[in-house]
Amino acid sequence: MTKTSFCGIFATLFVTTTMVLLASCSQDDDYYESDMYTLAEMGTRLVGDGEDTSPAFSKIADMDSVLIDFKNMMGHTVNSTKVRLYILATNDMTQFGARAELNPRDGDFRTASVKLLDDDSLNYTFKVTINILDRYENKQKGIIELPCPKSSFF
């Protein structure tokens, strides 16, 4: 009577499974982060066949880091946070939006709205309202008014 050894079968199965799992991994599945951003990553949308009525933002002005006071829902100032702010614009510069990036320990960007306050020959002046969710899942709102040179849109 002969004894059957399953060690070889299990070893082959283990190696094959490991190779398949490693081959199926991609960089997109891992939380890959880069300093490079595209319009799609910044939350802009393209208009297509009447399905989406939101504006197609094609121009960006990088406002760099700005310090914004964030208030909780009761209106009390919670913290002052540095935010990397981008102003988005349509090609004809008639509609505007915003995108904010902040350190994950300070919160998570949710939405931003932009109101054009002034338009002179060199600058726009915007009022930007940014909504974030802090690390404790509390909603906070920050408002800033700032000038933006027309030449900064590319």
Q: Give the structural domain span for 110.
A: 57-152
Count of structural domains, the chain: 1
- Nearest by Cα to 101 from 147, 56, 132: 132
pLDDT bin (cut points 50, 70, 90) of residue 67 is very high
pLDDT bin (cut points 50, 70, 90) of residue 3 is low
Asked if residue 100 belongs to a domain, the reply is yes
Residues 146 and 112 sit within 8 Å (Cβ to Cβ): no
pLDDT bin (cut points 50, 70, 90) of residue 76 is confident
Residue with the larger pLDDT of the pair 37 and 94: 94
Asked if residue 114 belongs to a domain, the reply is yes
Residues 69 and 80 sit within 8 Å (Cβ to Cβ): yes
Asked if residue 22 belongs to a domain, the reply is no
In this prediction the pTM is 0.62
pLDDT bin (cut points 50, 70, 90) of residue 32 is very low
Stretch (H or E) spanning 4: none
Asked if residue 29 belongs to a domain, the reply is no
What is the distance between the alpha carbons of residues 139 and 137, in angstroms, rounded to a whole number? 7
